[in-house]
């Protein structure tokens, strides 16, 4: 039995979807514990492309149970669309495969409108939000006025809470953001329709998970976004609104930290970021362009081109510490094939100072000049490699150097988009 957390070590989009899909074969339950439909996992299975925003990608494997736990903020419209699309493609034929926490908070159209309206009036320093209402929904949770899944199931309670919320939100929307407000009854009816479709999945997911652990089953906790987007430890304020680090897998799913056996960090072989904020190793030259094109670096949720740059060991070391990583999976190594030389950032220079830790201040982070080490590239196609020894020597050396710099073992290496295009040195679910 093993309980494993998978966490992103950079700014999200590290390729967690593929790693989770791969490990899901060895798990009984896969849990999504934070974020919402701002996330987007793209995976390619049997030549077919799937994009998930809310449902754990483990749903593609029959007999796996997938949980959307209390730490997630749920847009019912997106969730229903995902359920319908999966059913149409022959998946999720058994409804007991999907479980939705009764404690999860619900996203409403006013959350999205506030997200976008606020971004529009922000003077400079736009966050680059995906506009999915994630921040405003977490705000309501912290302000204790949010509406939860359990409220939807009780029509009268839901009606009262929605009325109270609308009084407040409509004032803010119309008077502060100069947007339109919402009418109570149509919104109430729309969400009662969602309730009809979703209630069969709603349960006490914390209780379900503790029973699964007692029964000796394997659980995989899938993080969304990445460590540098964490609301406490990321590049604040250019972050998302939830805690994205491994510790939140416990709080966000209602299990205790003593239950966790392994934390796997997912790290892209280079770095990308979508949205605004500091990114010390960003490349605005033809190499950055080549990484974007070869790596297909366009946001799964918004389609925005991702900013691309060299591997940053300062960032990943930060993530190793914050997540307590037991090991890492390196993804998209194949995207680097063909480069003559590859750079790796080992530290930053800020004025006269050399710094080895990611600064707390985003104002300082934008002034960080990366200090690079240059490694030899390789030209050989690597997608067929299934053992480290089958990789070109220069690729092996690149991985060895990353291991040295982040002081953490590399357990998995992804050399292509497909499930089988992977080198697995150690499977954390088979310990
Ligand atoms: P929000 O969470 O949609 O408000 O977005 C806040 C910041 O996090 C923006 O820079 C987004 O681009 C970024 N972000 C949110 N979700 C993801 C993700 O799944 N991958 C990468 N970036 C994300």
- Closest C-alpha to 67, from 217, 205, 245, 243: 205
Give residue 388's pLDDT.
97
Q: What is the largest CA-CA distance in the chain?
A: 66
In the residue annotation, 111 being an active-site residue is answered as no
Tokens (6 digits) for 288: 């950055």
Rounded distance between C-alpha atoms, residue 182 and residue 391, angstroms: 58
Give the distance (Å) from ligand 1 centre to CA of residue 277: 11
Ligand 1 neighbour 127 (Cβ under 6 A): yes
Give the distance (Å) from ligand 1 centre to CA of residue 143: 22
Give residue 132's pLDDT.
96
In the residue annotation, 41 being an active-site residue is answered as yes
Secondary structure in 3-state letters for the chain: CCEEEEEECCCCCCCHHHHHHHHHCCCCEEEECCECCCCCEEEEECCEEEEECCCCHHHHCCCCEEEECCCEEECHHHHHHHHHHHHHCCCCCCHHHEEEECCCEECCHHHHHHHHHHHHHCCCCCCCCCCCCHHHHHHHHHCCCCCEHHHHCCHHHHHHHHHHHHHHHHHHHHHHCCCCCCCHHHHHHHHHHHHHHHHHHEECHHHHHHHHHHCCCCEEEECCCCHHHCCCCCCCCCCCCCCCCCHHHHHCCCCCHHHCCEEEEEEECCEEECCCCCCCCECCCHHHHHHHHHHCCECCCCCCECEEECEEHHHHHHHHHHHCCCEEEEECHHHHCCCCEEEEEEEEEECCEEECCCCCCHHHHCCCEEEEEEEECCCCCCCCCCCHHHCCHHHHHHHHHHHHHHCCCEEEEECCCECCCEEECCCHHHC
pTM comes to 0.96
Q: For residue range 114-145, what is the model confidence (pLDDT) as tens digits?
A: 999 999 988 777 988 999 999 999 999 999 99
Ligand 1 neighbour 347 (Cβ under 6 A): no
Give residue 376's pLDDT.
98
Locate the domains of the chain by residue range. Answer: 3-96+204-430, 105-200
Contact 20, 266 (CB under 8 A): no
Q: For residue range 21-65, what is the model confidence (pLDDT) as tens digits?
A: 899 999 999 999 999 999 988 777 777 888 899 999 889 898 899
Q: For residue range 242-298, what is the model confidence (pLDDT) as tens digits?
A: 999 999 999 999 999 999 999 999 999 999 999 899 999 999 999 999 999 999 999
Share of the chain above pLDDT 90, in %: 90
Give the distance (Å) from ligand 1 centre to CA of residue 225: 7
Q: Which residue among the candidates 21, 28, 41, 53 is catalytic per the annotation? A: 41
Look up the CATH architecture of domain 105-200: Orthogonal Bundle (1.10)
Q: Is the pLDDT score of 431 beyond 80?
A: no
Fold of the 3-96+204-430 domain: Adenylosuccinate Synthetase; Chain A, domain 3 (3.90.170)
Give residue 76's pLDDT.
98
- Higher pLDDT: 302 or 99? It is 99
Q: Is the pLDDT score of 400 beyond 80?
A: yes
Ligand 1 neighbour 37 (Cβ under 6 A): no
Contact 224, 12 (CB under 8 A): yes
Atom 19 (ligand 1) nearest CA? 39
- Higher pLDDT: 217 or 301? It is 217
Give the distance (Å) from ligand 1 centre to CA of residue 116: 13
Give residue 43's pLDDT.
73
Atom 20 (ligand 1) nearest CA? 12
Ligand 1 neighbour 415 (Cβ under 6 A): no
Q: How many CA atoms lie within 13 A of 239 on its CB side?
A: 21
Give the pLDDT mean for 411-430. 95
**Strand pairing of 271-273 and 307-309?**
antiparallel
Give residue 312's pLDDT.
98
Ligand 1 neighbour 240 (Cβ under 6 A): yes
Residues 6 or more apart in contact with residue 144 via CB below 8 angstroms: none
Mean predicted lDDT score pLDDT of the chain = 96
């Amino acid at each position: 039995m093993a309980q494993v957390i998978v966490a992103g070590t950079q700014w999200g989009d590290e390729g967690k979807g593929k790693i989770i899909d791969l490990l899901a074969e060895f798990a009984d339950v896969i849990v999504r514990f934070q974020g919402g439909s701002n996330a987007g996992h793209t995976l390619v299975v049997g030549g077919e492309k799937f994009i998930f925003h809310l449902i754990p990608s483990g749903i593609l494997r029959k007999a796996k149970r997938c949980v959307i736990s209390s730490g997630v903020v749920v847009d019912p419209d997106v969730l229903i669309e995902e359920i319908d699309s999966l059913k149409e493609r022959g998946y999720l034929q058994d409804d007991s495969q999907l479980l939705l926490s009764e404690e999860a908070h619900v996203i409403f159209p006013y959350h999205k409108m506030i997200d976008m309206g606020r971004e529009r009036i922000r003077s400079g320093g736009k966050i680059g939000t995906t506009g999915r209402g994630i921040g405003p929904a977490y705000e309501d949770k912290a302000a204790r006025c949010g509406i939860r899944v359990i409220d939807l199931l009780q029509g009268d309670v839901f009606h009262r809470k929605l009325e109270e919320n609308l009084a407040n939100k409509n004032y803010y929307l119309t008077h502060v953001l100069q947007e339109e407000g919402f009418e109570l009854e149509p919104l109430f009816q729309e969400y009662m329709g969602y309730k009809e479709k979703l209630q069969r999945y709603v349960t006490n997911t914390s209780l379900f998970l503790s029973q699964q652990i007692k029964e000796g089953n394997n659980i995989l906790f899938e993080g969304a976004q990445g460590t540098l987007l964490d609301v406490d430890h990321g590049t604040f304020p250019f972050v998302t609104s939830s805690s994205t680090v491994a510790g939140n897998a416990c709080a966000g799913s209602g299990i205790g930290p003593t239950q966790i056996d392994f934390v796997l960090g997912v790290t892209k072989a280079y770095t990308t970021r979508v949205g605004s904020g500091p990114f010390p190793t960003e490349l605005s030259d033809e190499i950055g362009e080549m990484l974007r094109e070869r790596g297909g670096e366009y946001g799964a949720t918004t389609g925005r081109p991702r900013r691309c740059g060299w591997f940053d060991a300062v960032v990943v070391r930060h993530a190793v510490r914050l997540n307590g990583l037991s090991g890492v999976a390196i993804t998209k190594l194949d995207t680097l094939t063909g480069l003559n030389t590859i750079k790796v950032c080992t530290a930053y220079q800020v004025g006269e100072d050399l710094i080895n830790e990611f600064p707390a201040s985003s104002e300082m982070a934008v002034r960080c000049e990366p200090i690079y080490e240059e490694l030899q590239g390789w030209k050989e196609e690597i997608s067929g490699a299934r053992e480290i020894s089958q990789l070109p020597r220069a690729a092996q050396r690149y991985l060895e150097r990353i291991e040295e710099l982040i002081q953490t073992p590399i357990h998995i290496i992804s050399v292509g988009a497909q499930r089988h295009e992977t080198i697995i040195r150690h499977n954390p679910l088979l310990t």
